Amino acid sequence: MSIYLDLGMHRKIYFIITFLLTVSACSEYETEKVSEEISQDQIRQYLLEHPEFVLDDPEISNSISRARSKREGEIKSLERKLLLDEYSDLLNSFLSPTSGHKDSIITIIEFYDYQCSPCKANYQEIEKMRALETDVRIIYGQLPVFGSQSIIAARAAIAANKQGLFNLYHSLLMTTNKPINIDLIFGIATEVGLNLERLQADMRDPEVLEYLERIRFLAQALDVTGTPTYIIGDSILRGGTKYEDLEAVIQYQRTHSGIIR
């Protein structure tokens, strides 16, 4: 049975809903004060009977859209956190290339490809972040999406990590202006002092191949649709970015975790 609302009550509900949806900061006292004469059931019933109230008012419609987007973002953040917990064994594997301390407050997963131009352009921004944000750990997630040469480079990078020379090898691959091909991949390996025979054996190692496949599955589960993509705590940054953008998300994660610096 509908709750009967006279014209005055309609106007009062309209005012209350508009006030609650459009005022950005409202104290608990103010909220109670304006709504003490009207119950939540009455407001709900009014909206059910008058959906045009929302549809015809752009300000309220936009406010609801923002609230929906915020809720969806919170759900996605929670899903990312649960996925990262589920894949913690992979991320902490001895095969995972990393920089920074394992117990760092903030962890970033960088998904990249050695043939990805925006990834290369971002390299110096990542290095700047590494130098300035000392409580940040980076996990380098190989996501070879640009073909066979990218796959070979990714396998070589993991094999280089097994010899303890990932960071130097990675740096030269990311900063070279030459096309990524087999000659370059093994040429840089020789330059940094990698054992080529061992490198090639590790590149064929089923354990390395399985590791890269699981990284690809993780990227898909995290809705990583291209490179570069950065998972920062439970946040996500897509595409080319500057240090300032990274720093803003890092600071948000610190604050979100109760760590202010």
Dihedral angle at the C-alpha atoms of 75, 77, 78, 84, nearest 10 degrees? 150
In this prediction, residue 21 has a pLDDT band, given cuts at 50, 70 and 90, of low
DSSP 8-state assignment for residue 226: S
Residue 25 has pLDDT above 80, yes or no: no
Residue 22 has pLDDT above 60, yes or no: no
d(CA 202, CA 212): 13
- Does residue 42 contact residue 10 with C-beta atoms inside 8 Å? no
Residue ranges of the domains in the chain?
A: 7-74, 87-256
Residue 113 has pLDDT above 80, yes or no: yes
Q: What is the per-residue pLDDT for 64?
A: 66
- Does residue 247 contact residue 129 with C-beta atoms inside 8 Å? yes
CA atoms within 13 A on the CB side of 162: 21
In this prediction, residue 32 has a pLDDT band, given cuts at 50, 70 and 90, of low
Measured on CA atoms in the order 192, 214, 137, 131, is the torsion positive or negative?
positive
Helix H or strand E segment including 207: helix 206-221
Average pLDDT (169-176) is 98
Helix (H, G, I), strand (E, B) or coil at 44: helix
**Domain 87-256 homologous superfamily, CATH:** Glutaredoxin (3.40.30.10)
Residue 28 has pLDDT above 60, yes or no: no
Average pLDDT (29-45) is 62
Residue 112 has pLDDT above 60, yes or no: yes
d(CA 257, CA 46): 40
DSSP 8-state assignment for residue 112: E
Average pLDDT (94-113) is 93
In this prediction, residue 79 has a pLDDT band, given cuts at 50, 70 and 90, of confident
Of 71 and 201, the structure prediction assigns the larger pLDDT to: 201
d(CA 52, CA 191): 69
Q: What is the per-residue pLDDT for 44?
A: 74
